[in-house]
Chains A and B, each alone.
Chain A
Amino acid sequence: MDLEVLNVDDDKMVLFIHEKMMVHAGFSASPKSFEDGYATLNYISENKAENKRFVIFLDVNMPKLDGWEFMDELDRLGLTSYCYIFVVTSSIDQTDKEKADTYKAAVGFVEKPLSINKLKDLKKTKELVPLFGEKI
């Protein structure tokens, strides 16, 4: 099973930090970055394959299409089954976490800042174990 990591955040700086960390943590050798949700959706529908899964770090607060709308859209386009989503937010508001639990595609909730240790922990997420298992 192939694995592709996508970072979605409207802040370029955050994307830069995330890429660096992912490479360093061995989470992904070449993560892709997207500044808005629509571009991400296009990329997924054009590059989807039966033997490939997208792990998406999705920022909740984005101007055009926010994280929640992104997941609704993903569902509507029938792309949810290709994706494992980590909902990323800088908010320390508990309601975001509760809301994330209600989305089928969401496998985890990450509070910013991301860190190398956090990424190592995320690898052990139940849904991701088979993906990383093949590689390791």
Chain B
Amino acid sequence: MTLANKALKILIVEDNLGDYTLVKEYLEERFENITCELAINYSDARKLLLAHTDFDVILLDLILPDESCTQLIQKIIAIAGRTPVIIMTGSLNLDFCMDSLQLGVSDYLFKDELNTNTLFKSISYTIEKQKTHLQLLESEKKYSDLFNLSPVAMFVYDIDTLKIMDVNAAGVQLYGYAKGELLSMQLDQLFFSKNTDAYLEAFEETNPKNKFSFEDHLILKNKSGKEIKAEITVKTLQSRNKSAKLVVANDITERLLHFDALNAQNKKLKQIAWQQSHEMRSPASKILGIIELFNTELCSKDEQKFLIKEIEITVKELDDVIRSISEKAKQVNPKT
């Protein structure tokens, strides 16, 4: 489907009904499926724009009974949303037309030069340009979302001044500063003073590299002075005239705490294993030895009595070890 037979809806803001009829006819000549709506002054246009957002283009006469020129352009653009605005002017004031482009107007047309072709060219060009513009906005938003909505803390700093240039929501949360505060800070203010020199040097060393991950975690400082143990990855950002680095800080404080807990647990388990192979085995082997003596009938009656007493003592010893192991096993279970 080409633009010529696509359904288009155009708002024409024009107080001169003759001009309106002319423009409408020109348009209908080239656009087969066009709907034109008329607003004869600014307040009419405003009502229509607030009620409908589906106009493809607004054609705007610059002089209306209730508003005109710069003010009119600004007001219309403010409520036009994504709909592009093309101005139509009777005078040949080129400077003003150029300035109006700065205000966000997509194109300008001189009423004296209006014909089917100029209108068709201007409108089709404007619609295509708007499409591209919206795609660009969309993709910019996508990338900015990747940064802003990422659950991992990220910030960007200027390599030369070390100034923090941007920080995402997760970063704001991690460091505990307001975004404004962070944007007035420097990289080194996120370090503990005892680490500053070493860390700055380490960051400096990443400058020639495109992407770099520190092997060990770095300890950052949040606003309340708490330690944040973070895995840091640094990536160079190429912008026109500034060299900046994107820093991704993955908070592993919790993970390290879990690690410590696991290590402590492991240590206790090792103790239990040692107790089982040493302390528990010792009385067991002694009892087995005594039983062997009984079996070989090597002992006198008195010695046998003594050995039975000894078995009792040894079993108690074994019992103690078992109790101590089960006590330790209780400690291994994570506290609830």
Question: A residues 81-135 with Cβ under 8 Å of B?
Answer: 90-93, 111-116
Could you tell me if A14 and B286 are in contact, using CB atoms closer than 8 angstroms?
A: yes
Question: A residues 58-96 with Cβ under 8 Å of B?
Answer: 61, 90-93
* A residues near B296, Cβ cutoff 8 Å: 21, 24, 116
Could you tell me if A90 and B278 are in contact, using CB atoms closer than 8 angstroms?
A: yes
Question: B residues 290-334 with Cβ under 8 Å of A?
Answer: 290, 292-293, 296, 298-299, 310, 314
Could you tell me if B292 and A91 are in contact, using CB atoms closer than 8 angstroms?
A: no
Interface-central residue, A20, A24, A90, A115, by most chain B CB under 10 Å: A90
B185 at the interface (CB under 8 A from A): no
Could you tell me if A20 and B293 are in contact, using CB atoms closer than 8 angstroms?
A: yes
Chain A residue nearest in CB terms to B306: A16
B135 at the interface (CB under 8 A from A): no
**What DSSP secondary structure best describes chain B's contact surface?**
helix
Chain B residue nearest in CB terms to A116: B296
B282 at the interface (CB under 8 A from A): yes
A39 at the interface (CB under 8 A from B): no
A13 at the interface (CB under 8 A from B): yes
Could you tell me if A115 and B292 are in contact, using CB atoms closer than 8 angstroms?
A: yes
B277 at the interface (CB under 8 A from A): yes
Chain B residue nearest in CB terms to A88: B285
The distance in angstroms between the C-alpha atoms of A114 and B288, with both chains bound, is: 9
A11 at the interface (CB under 8 A from B): yes
We find that the number of chain B residues with CB closer than 8 angstroms to chain A is 18
**Contact A20 to B286, CB < 8 A, known contacts A93-B277, A93-B278:** no
Question: A residues 1-26 with Cβ under 8 Å of B?
Answer: 11, 13-14, 17, 20-21, 24
Could you tell me if A14 and B289 are in contact, using CB atoms closer than 8 angstroms?
A: yes
B281 at the interface (CB under 8 A from A): yes
Instruction: State how many angstroms separate the Cβ of B148 from the closest Cβ of chain A.
Output: 55
Could you tell me if A116 and B292 are in contact, using CB atoms closer than 8 angstroms?
A: yes
* A residues near B284, Cβ cutoff 8 Å: 90
The distance in angstroms between the C-alpha atoms of A90 and B281, with both chains bound, is: 6
* B residues near A61, Cβ cutoff 8 Å: 278, 282
Could you tell me if B281 and A92 are in contact, using CB atoms closer than 8 angstroms?
A: yes
Could you tell me if B286 and A21 are in contact, using CB atoms closer than 8 angstroms?
A: no
Q: Quick one: which of B286, B288, B298 contacts A11, CB cutoff 8 A?
A: B286
Could you tell me if A112 and B277 are in contact, using CB atoms closer than 8 angstroms?
A: no
Chain B residue nearest in CB terms to A11: B286
User: Interface code B264-287, partner A: CB below 8 Å = 1, 0 otherwise?
Assistant: 000000000010011001101110
Instruction: State how many angstroms separate the Cβ of B94 from the closest Cβ of chain A.
Output: 94
**Contact A13 to B292, CB < 8 A, known contacts A24-B298, A93-B277:** no
Instruction: State how many angstroms separate the Cβ of B19 from the closest Cβ of chain A.
Output: 101
The distance in angstroms between the C-alpha atoms of A11 and B284, with both chains bound, is: 14
The distance in angstroms between the C-alpha atoms of A94 and B299, with both chains bound, is: 33
Q: Quick one: which of B274, B285, B293 contacts A90, CB cutoff 8 A?
A: B285
Could you tell me if B292 and A21 are in contact, using CB atoms closer than 8 angstroms?
A: yes
Chain A residue nearest in CB terms to B290: A17
Could you tell me if B310 and A113 are in contact, using CB atoms closer than 8 angstroms?
A: no
Chain A residue nearest in CB terms to B292: A115
Could you tell me if A17 and B286 are in contact, using CB atoms closer than 8 angstroms?
A: yes
Interface-central residue, B284, B289, B296, by most chain A CB under 10 Å: B289
Could you tell me if B282 and A90 are in contact, using CB atoms closer than 8 angstroms?
A: yes
Chain B residue nearest in CB terms to A114: B289
**Contact A112 to B282, CB < 8 A, known contacts A13-B310, A24-B298, A92-B277:** yes
Instruction: State how many angstroms separate the Cβ of B184 from the closest Cβ of chain A.
Output: 60
| Interface positions of B (Cβ within 8 A of A) | 274, 277-278, 281-282, 284-286, 288-290, 292-293, 296, 298-299, 310, 314
Not counting A24-B298, A113-B292, a sample of 9 additional A-B residue pairs whose C-beta atoms are within 8 angstroms of each other reads A17-B289, A17-B293, A24-B296, A90-B284, A92-B277, A93-B274, A112-B289, A113-B285, A116-B296
5 residue pairs, one from A and one from B, having the closest CB atoms? A113-B289, A112-B285, A90-B282, A17-B289, A113-B288
User: What are 13 A-B pairs at a CB distance below 8 A?
Assistant: A14-B286, A17-B289, A21-B292, A21-B298, A90-B281, A93-B274, A93-B278, A112-B282, A112-B285, A112-B289, A113-B286, A113-B288, A116-B296
